[in-house]
Amino acid sequence: MERGQALTEEEGAWTTFGPSALAFKESWHTPVEMTEADMDRVVAAFADAARRADRAGFDLVEVHAAHGYLLCEFLSPLSNQRTDQYGGSAENRARFPLRVAKAVRDAWPRTKALGVRFNGSDWVEGGVALEEVVAFGAAMHDLGYDYLHLTSGGNVARADIPGAEPGYQLRFAEAVKVAVPQAVVMAVGMIFDPHQAEQIVASGQADLIAIARAALDDPNWAHHAAVALGQAENLPVQYERAGKTTWPGYGRTV
């Protein structure tokens, strides 16, 4: 993608694949509807990628099944309009993502963390339903995934996402946590206040908090959050001279 638009064939755009031959939006190229052979190839590629990540020394892998990526497209009735065993019902739409998930689970060591990120909503009428989201989360937990990471959006261009207030996606994580209490559930979505993050975990709405833009804005967010909550910073030795008790500019903004 360049300038907010898809590359043209003349610009060297790759051939893309999807559950159905539906363009993301007008003027974008239309993906090729995947065949069984395409799906087999992708399942094998996911498993190979997990094994390479293990050999490279990574300690955690998160399968991305959200934000309009391939597995997300299969899960949503807006982007998956197949009439075979991989389309139609929620069970059918989840069939291919669960095949991929099992292949990754089998390839990734049980001694290392494995999670999945998936959408709680498409923010469009007729999109993925919350009960389907919960069922998919339960299935991933049953497969042996260590945590479930709930997010939303990015699957269709016409999504009407409400005002992104801190914790606006929390309802999805909470719904999965209530339905699958034994699962470890992660919440994300404009959460930057350490007190709000602590309250979410303390109340049991979620077990983990993902920090995104807060960390981009403040790479030391975790240390500053610890101080805000009355805990020790636990700074690396190299950073101790910039701590709250030793640096007069601590916490100041330009």
Instruction: Check if the beta carbon of residue 60 is closer than 8 Å to that of residue 112.
Output: yes
Which of 69, 86, 145, 147 does the annotation list as catalytic? 69
Kindly report the number of other CB atoms within 10 A of residue 237's CB atom: 6
Q: How far, in whole angstroms, is CA 139 from its chain's centroid? A: 16
Structure tokens, 152: 């939303």
Give 112's DSSP letter: S
Q: What sign does the CA torsion over 72, 73, 78, 83 have? A: negative
Contact assessment for residue 198 and residue 192, using Cβ atoms and an 8 Å cutoff: no
DSSP state of 239: G
CA distance linking residue 212 with residue 192, whole number of Å: 9
State the maximum Cα–Cα separation within the chain, in Å, rounded to a whole number.
65
CA nearest to 63, candidates 106, 18, 4: 106
Residue type at 64 in one-letter notation: H
Q: Does 147 qualify as catalytic in the annotation?
A: no
Residue 55's CB: how many other CB atoms inside 10 A?
Answer: 8
The residues carrying an active-site annotation are 69
